[in-house]
Structure formats: C-alpha cells, structure tokens
Structure 1
Amino acid sequence: MYLLLPGRHHLLTRYQKEYLLHLVKKGLSEVLDVFGNPLQISKHPTAILFAVTSANHNNTRRNPLPLYQRAMMIQDFSRDLNIPSFVIPIDDIGLSPNFASYTIKKIEVETELNIKVSPENTIVLCSTPVADLYLQLGFQVLPVEKVPGSKEEFFAKLPWEELEEIVNQRKKLNKNRRSADYKTEPLLSEGMTFDSPEKMFQSLDLACVRLWKDYGLFEKVDMLFSDTLIGDDGDLTESRDYNTYVREMDQIAELKFQETKPFIKPGRIGDIGCAVGSWIKLVGKDPNFTESDFYGVEIARHLYQICEQRKENGEFTNPNVFFLRKNAVSGLVYPRLSMNTIHTSSLTHEIESYGDRSQLLAFLQNRYEELVYGGVWINRDVVGPEDKEREVFVWMEDQSSTNQGLGVDQFANFKEYLESLSTKERFFQFQRDFRKEEGYVLRTSAISVDGIGYHRMKLKDICEYISKKDYTDNWESEMHESFCFWSFEEWKETLKSIGFKISKHSKAYRNEWLVKNRYEGKVKLFTSDVMTPTQFSELLPMEFPVTHMLMLAEK
C-alpha cells in the first residue's frame, strides 16, 4: 500500500515525521481519514511517494528551493521511516481541476510505469483543499495536520505556515540586532539542534535544518521575502502577455546589437534582463567576441525557461553561454571587479516603475561594483525630456473613433475597446489608468484657441502617453511603467555621483520611426513665449522631444 504525499516540500516538519512513523509502525486500520472515520485497511504501508509539486520552479517566495535540494532533504528525512521512499517531480500546470489526475499520470511517467497508483493501492496524505481533487477520483485521504471533519482546525502548522513564521521571526531578530549595533551573524549557528534556544526551528525536522543550514537557505528566503520588486512567483508583473513580449524582444534584437556593438568590450560579458537571450545570441556570433564568456541574467521565470531551452537547442554559437535566474536589484549578480561589459536594455525604467527610487540607485551601485576598471555598462532605455516639468499645450485627433459611445463591457476584450477609441478618447482612459495604483494624478486643463481644443499639461505627462498609447496588448502592464522619471542630464549626474565616467559617445535621441508612425497626425505639441498659471501668449509649434538614450557608463 502506497502513501502519496503531494506538496511543494520546501520544509519538512517533526510532526510529519511522527505522523508517518505512526502509520508505518501501527498500520492503517485505526487511523482516521478526513471525515473522521477509521480507514480499516489491514495492509501496512510499503512505500512513500513524495510528489514534489512546482518542481520546475525555484528562487521565488512561493518556491524558494530547486528540486534537487528538496529531493536531498526528502531522502535524508526518509531514512528513519524504514520503508522505501520515492521523490517524483510534478511540474506546475497552474490552477487546474485536473491537477490530481495529472499528478497520478505524472507519477507513472516519471517511474517508467513501475508505479501505478490507484484508489485500491494508494492512500493520499493531504491537509489542504487539494484533498478534494483526490476524493473526487475515489482515493481515501488522511488529513495529516488537519483535524478530521469539516472544521478548519489543525494539530500543527502547515509547512508553509512554518516557513512564513520563520521569515517573520528572522526579520525581527535582524532588526533588533541592527538597532543594537550588533555584528550580524547567521541566525542558525554551527551545531544547532532542537534543544537550542533558537525556538523558531523547533518544529522542523533535523533533515530540513541540516539542508537549510548547509546551503544558506534561511538567508536566501530572507532576501526573497524582503524583495518588494518581485512577485511571489518571481516576476516583475503578472499582467504581461509573454507571447507578445517575446516577439517584440526578438524583433528589436538586431537594432540593439548594431547600436551597442562598437562599445562592447570582450572578456566577461553580461546581459542583465536578457529576456530570451537574443542580444547574447547576436554578440556571440561576432568573431570579435569568440573568446568571450557570456552571462545572461533573467528574473522572469517564463523568459529564463526560454533561454535555457534555446541553449539546449544549440541556438548559441558560442558554447560559453550561461544563464542565471537572479535578482539584480537586491544584490550583485556577478562577482565584484569581474565584468568587462554589462548590457541592459529597457530594464532600468522597470525597476523605477515596479520598485522605487532606492532600488534603482542600488541597481546602479551594484553594476559599478561588478565592473573591472576600464569596464563599461551599456544601458539602453527610454528617457524623459530635459524640461519635463514645464507645461505645454497638446492637440489630439478625435476623428478616428469607431466606439459610438459603447462601454468596455460591450467588447470582446479590453484591447478591442482601446482600439475603438480616438487618440483623445484613449488619452482620457490613460489619464484614469496611468500609475493609479501608485497614486499618481495626471492633471490637465482644457482650453480653446480659434475654435480648436487643446489640453494644457506637463511635458512629461504627454510624453508618457504618446510612448504608451499604442500598447493595447499590454495596456494594464504598461500603465505601471514610468518612462520620464529622469532626463538624460539627470541620468548622467546620478551615474557620476556613483563614480562612473560618462563616455562622449553616450546620447539621448528621438526614435524617428515612432514620430512618423505613431505621433504625427495623432498629437501636436505647442508652447508659448509667455506662460503663467492663467495666461499665455501665441501658441508656437514644438517638435517631439527625445524618447530614448544610449548611456555608456565607464568605470
């Protein structure tokens, strides 16, 4: 009789060990199922199947440990159980009513059909609502930590609750140590046991404590849980359409390469926020960089997986290409004084947008630390205009609407609704949506000159709108993103204050394709020689300001 224990298994507890030992030693006849009824099964357990869910995820708050570390811990944990145990990886398929049946099939595949579980030969151990999925398949379920019956009562904390409690306790200890000006030491010291005064670990099995101590995992979750920039599953945003995003990254890779190629220094070359590895792929083909090593860093799980798949497919000419899933904001991703070139593209504005200014400044400092003397950080990104706070007058076309007064609910999706709006109508939607969760207020006033309507607003606000108005695929995600927080000169001054020297080849420029294809005929900008809060002189046409920058920051 198999015991099937599905779960993510990042922690293993003393209670779980005692529960399993009781089943192995005493049998299954008297133990109570989820309904409070004795199982009345005369057979003893013959093996334990640890179905490790989210096995393909790691380095996130929800899934901090990679599969191999979880497997090591489970095997160590199982030594005292005196029956065989099997670790079976179950990859994530999202929220699915078929997850239990998928797990059953996956067990058969992973064991090459040597283990076929069924309600007749397997008892499921589960204390979460996932148990209902197995009950629907006819399995009997033991509640483990949960008290049998319908009440939400538990004999012990669930492993995930234990982890969250440890994280909170360590936050308090670290805070107290800092406030007391103590030298920071690892909170789990050499030789610690459950008799230690460090009571926060007393509920964990010794196998768990050994692994977490040896691999520095308590410190790792400190970092993961303190990171406000990255979500629980390790992504900057949960609203991005990655299919669209990947296509866009591949399409502009050649432009990125040609623009940055003259400034790349051979040696150790890093691409932070490497997306799907397209820039590395092109640089690696260039004969000038045959002897270089490439290190791509990507935090978004979907994109990192694509990078690894491309490497496995042999798409990179240079064999010395390596991908890391790390967060470049919370710390260094490369050793100090190790990198000849670091490349980033369309990344720094995301740190400002989804994080805060302190995180952006930490990112800049980290890149400085990683470069060798003479190394260069190549940063391509959007940029704000120099006089971004001044007010301008904006004309927007209003004749292209096909909306006919329809609400968003009358369209198949939000994209279709947005594309039914004229430029002016879409601006009003932008005004409502732009960084509303961050508390931003975009202020405008309407005026009429010679019968023509204009809107008066800050130059940075209209630049934010025109740079995003056509991103109807990813509107929700784009509404979080700030492009114009710094001008080119503000960027240079900030980098100089850290210690960088700004190459004379650095530049801010206007994307003329955007001007021709997205701006002209849709929006016109005007200024005035005399501007007061209530008065202005004749409106004077002005050109669209810069949109992008190539910043070459040298150490």
Structure 2
Amino acid sequence: MYLLIPGRHQLLTQFQFKYIQQLLQNGLENEKDVFGNTTGITQKIEAVLFAVTSANHSNTRRNPLPFYLRAIAIEAFGNALSVPTYMYGIDDVGQVPNFAEYTLKRIQHDSEGQFHCTPNNTIVICSTPVLNMYHQLGFTILPAELQEITTWKHHTPMPWDIVEHIARTSPWQTDAFVQQHMHASAYNVWLKYKRGEKVQMLFRDAMISSDGDLTETRDYNVYVRQMDEIAEMKYHDTAQFIQPGRIGDIGCAVGSWIKLACQDERLRESDFYGIEVSRYLYVLCQQRKENGEFMNPFVFFAQKNAVTGLAYEPNSMNTIHTSSLTHEIESYGSRADLVQFIQNRYAELAPGGVWINRDVVGPDNKDQIIYLWLNDSDGDNEDPYKTYNDKQEFSHYLTGLSTYARFLRFAKDFRHKEGYVLNYSTTTINNKRYIITSLQNAMEFLSRKDYTDNWQSEMHETFCFWNFSEWKSNLQQAGFTIHPSSKAFTNEWIVNNRWKGKAELFTLKNDQPEPLDYPVTTMFLIGVKA
C-alpha cells in the first residue's frame, strides 16, 4: 500500500511528519477517512509518494520555491521515515477537471511503471478541496489537518498558513510559531537558501505613491476601451517572449496589457506588477481589479515613479514590459535619466529575464540631409504662427493648415522651450517646393504632424533621438544581450493613413530628386539578462 500526498509542498510541517510517522507505526486499519469511516485497510505501507504540483513554477507568491528546493526538503523529510519516499514533479496544466488522473499518469510515466496508483493499492492524504477529484476516482482519503469537510475547518495550521506567517514576520528564523510548526527539513532549506527573505520580498507591498488629481474632463469608459484595443496589438507582439514568474509592466496605464496576460494560460501561475506614475490611471487600475477584470488574483498595482529609481527588487523579475515610455524619459527628463532607466531594468531582472520595450525609434542615417515634399494644397497656408488661448480653437486652426504650413509651425514650436533649433531651408525644383533638412527632423515632424489635439504637449517630446542601432548599443552597454527577434519596422497604417499624399522624401541625384522609402517608425527591442 502506498501513501500519496499531492500538493505544492512549498513548506513541510511538524504535524505532517508526526501524522505520517504514526500511520507507519500503527497501520491504516483503524484510521478514519475524511467522511469519518474506518478504512479497515490491513496492508502494510510500503512507500510514501509526494506529487509536487506546479513543479514548473517558481518565483511567485503562489509558488515561491522552485521544484529543486522543494525536492531537497522532501528528500530530507523522507530520510527520517521508516519507508522509502519518492517525489514526482507535476507541471501545471491549467484548470482541468481530471487533474488527479493526470497526476497519477505522470507518476506512472515518470516512475517508468514502478508506481501505478489505483484505489486498491494507494491511499491519498489531502486536506483541501483537491481531495474531491481523488474521491471521484474511488480513492480513500485521509484527512491529515482537515477537521470538518463540510466547513473545511482545520485543527492545525496548514503549510501555507506558515508561509504567510513568515511573509509578515521578521525575523522569521526565531519566531515561536515557525519553530513550533515548521519541520526541520523545510526550515533548513528555507534558512540556507534565504527563502524567508524571498517570500517576504514577494509578499511585500513597498509601493511609494506620489500625489495627483483625477481629471474631470476625460471619458474614462472610452479611454479604457481605447487602451484595451491598443493592448491587443501590443500583447500579440510580445506574448511569445514573456517569461513566466514575476512579470512587470512599467507605465501600465489602465492595466490593459496585464489584463490580456492574465488570460494567457501559460502565465496563469505568474504574479503581475503594474507601475503607473499617473494617479488617475493608477486609480483606474485599482477599480478594474476590484471589478474582477483580471483573471489572475495575483495582480498588484503601484503609483510610483520608475524613472529615477528601481521599481522592483534587484534580480527579482522574470519579465519587464514597457510601451511608448522610454522616449518620454528622454523628452521630459534627460539623457542621463534614460541611461539610468535602462540600467535599472537590467538590475531588476533575474538571470534569464527579459525586458520587452516597444517604442518609437529614429531612422537610420538620421543625420542625412534630405528633400521633403509636403502637400501645400490640403489646407490653409496663411499665417501658420497664430496663437490662441482656447485649446479647442487652436486645435481647429492647426487641423485647417496645409501639411506644408503645419511644418512651418512645427519648426517654430518643436522643443523650443528645451532650446532645440530645427534647422531647415527651402528650394524649388521643377516647380515643386521642398524642405531641406535632416532625416531626423523630417521624421520628428511626420511622426507628430497629426497630433493637433494635444499639440503643445507633443512639442516637448522627441521620438527620433536614437536610431535602432543606438538603442541596441545602449542596452548592451548596460549588460543586456539583444534578442535576435528585436527589430525596427515601418508602421504601414501610418504610411497609408497619414503620409501618402501628404509627404514624400527624396535625395538629390544629378540635381534631380530621387525618392526615398519611408523610414522606420517603431521598434520592438528585447533585452535579455544573461
């Protein structure tokens, strides 16, 4: 007869050892199952089998210990028993009704047929609702910590109760509750490998908030819907590179990317940490969490500035995601801030972790002088330098300008307060008027020319300060290896809907304009920490 103990086994208890030891000494015949019935089993117990579920998950609140550390503790635990102890890792396969059957098949397969567990040769020890799956298969269930199955009341702390106690207790090593209930096999592993400190970090809410106000003019229902629609595209691009475990989204807005990640079955055992500096977006994230919009309960949001400091504990994150964020650090902060931001993300990642950064990017050969044709017949060309106090009137005025006139306004306004001077000149070739400027300046304009609703704010932002090679180089200097799937590309929707018929780029060859392809607009950059 075998004893089968399924569970995550993050921690082993004194009670578990004494309970199993008593069964080995006294036998099973007079033991009562979870329903109060005497088992009457007279066969001798020959082995104890630990089925370690979620064996492929670690570094999360739900599964803080990797399988190998759980196995070390179980091995030491079993060495003190009078019969052989075996353990088998059972990978998480999602919420399936026949998980117990899957577990039994995995044990049979991994033991190469040594253990074919059936109700005739195996008795299950379980004190959680998981026991129902084994009961349905006909197994006898021993209650262990379970006192009453109708209420799920337990007469002694469960292993997870001790984990949670350690998470909020310092120093945990000398705590009386821990000393009373934690078995030495687990205690030694937790102590040696500093698992208590790890668990405290995983459970700790070290959120530093800045203050802010909710705007009364935004339609939040529309805003959330827009963020969700954009997030679908962004998540589709990033999903295959996400490493399960601790997953962070810096600049998470309303949590739309995290919401989609929570629906990914591959990430169901992961913890998600959204960082958002804006108070009104942070509040929306919390509201969405309270509304139950995130399938994974282990989702946490912080209102925190992640630019100048660490957003997460060092070496703690498996994946960090950022989108349309890094150019704002250069725009509103400084180059030093951006370099520090890159270095901070490297410091936060665990070995093998990835930083997935989607953002705008400058063109290759950005210093190249080009000839830019702009449509001057698609709007008004009179006085492109008017000023308005009313934002809506100003937006309406800008929208009415021709593409050519809007460039003239852009050249005057672009990063003027930051001291930038956009140098350009004009020429006429074959009765067509061209702007002569750098490719970088041209792309700064083309990337922002249609943002007339928020023009004054957009004039502070720079998109094209680094090309893709420069981005990669700066990540490499911080220690990252660049994933080969990283790329820069041209957004065809922007080309077809905002540029064609409005703007064309040329070089001059034999004194005649020669067309240039539209440059890249967007990068998808993945940094890997070795």
* Residue 554, structure 1, aligned to residue 518, structure 2: no
2:445 matched residue in structure 1: 465
CA offset at residue 416 of structure 1? 0.7
CA offset at residue 309 of structure 1? 1.0
SS at match of 1:446: strand
CA offset at residue 476 of structure 1? 1.4
Change (3 A) 1:318 1:525: same
2:458 matched residue in structure 1: 478
Q: TM-score, normalised by structure 1?
A: 0.55
Kept after mapping to 1: 8 A contact 2:246/2:317:
yes
2:506 matched residue in structure 1: 526
Matching residue within 516, 519, 542 for 2:516: 542
Matching residue within 336, 346, 349 for 1:358: 336
Alignment partners' CA distance in 1, 2:398 and 2:420 = 21
Alignment partners' CA distance in 2, 1:264 and 1:402 = 48
Cα deviation, 1:53-108, whole Å, max 9, x if unaligned, reads xxxxxxxxxxxxxxxxxxxxxxxxxxxxxxxxxxxxxxxxxxxxxxxxxxxxxxxx
CA offset at residue 299 of structure 1? 0.5
Alignment partners' CA distance in 2, 1:402 and 1:484 = 28
CA offset at residue 408 of structure 1? 4.8
Matching residue within 421, 424, 439 for 1:444: 424
Change (3 A) 1:242 1:481: farther
Matching residue within 213, 221, 235 for 1:257: 235
Cα deviation, 1:409-467, whole Å, max 9, x if unaligned, reads 49852111111111111111111111111011111101010111101001011101111
Matching residue within 305, 308, 329 for 1:327: 305
1:312 matched residue in structure 2: 290
CA offset at residue 245 of structure 1? 6.4
1:207 matched residue in structure 2: none
CA offset at residue 480 of structure 1? 0.7
Alignment partners' CA distance in 2, 1:447 and 1:506 = 39
Alignment partners' CA distance in 1, 2:464 and 2:226 = 21
The aligned amino acid for 1:351 is I
CA offset at residue 249 of structure 1? 2.8
1:370 matched residue in structure 2: 348
Runs ≥4 in structure 1, deviation > 2 angstroms?
Answer: 232-235, 240-251, 402-412
Alignment partners' CA distance in 2, 1:241 and 1:349 = 24
Kept after mapping to 2: 8 A contact 1:268/1:341:
yes
1:227 matched residue in structure 2: none
Alignment partners' CA distance in 2, 1:484 and 1:395 = 20
2:491 matched residue in structure 1: 511
Percent identity, please: 54
Kept after mapping to 2: 8 A contact 1:284/1:290:
yes
**Is there any run of 5+ residues in structure 2 with no aligned partner, and where?**
1-205
Alignment partners' CA distance in 1, 2:308 and 2:287 = 26
2:378 matched residue in structure 1: 400
Kept after mapping to 1: 8 A contact 2:360/2:523:
yes
Change (3 A) 1:404 1:461: closer
1:415 matched residue in structure 2: 395
Change (3 A) 1:438 1:404: closer
Change (3 A) 1:261 1:425: same
Change (3 A) 1:454 1:242: farther
SS at match of 1:473: helix
* Residue 492, structure 1, aligned to residue 466, structure 2: no
CA offset at residue 538 of structure 1? 2.1
1:289-308 matches, cutoff 5 A? 289-308=267-286
Change (3 A) 1:248 1:355: farther
Change (3 A) 1:325 1:242: farther
The number of residue pairs the alignment matches comes to: 320
2:406 matched residue in structure 1: 426
SS at match of 2:452: coil
CA offset at residue 250 of structure 1? 2.8
Alignment partners' CA distance in 1, 2:243 and 2:359 = 20
Which of the pair has more CA radius of gyration? Answer: 2
The aligned amino acid for 2:514 is L
Kept after mapping to 2: 8 A contact 1:234/1:299:
no
1:382 matched residue in structure 2: 360
SS at match of 1:413: helix
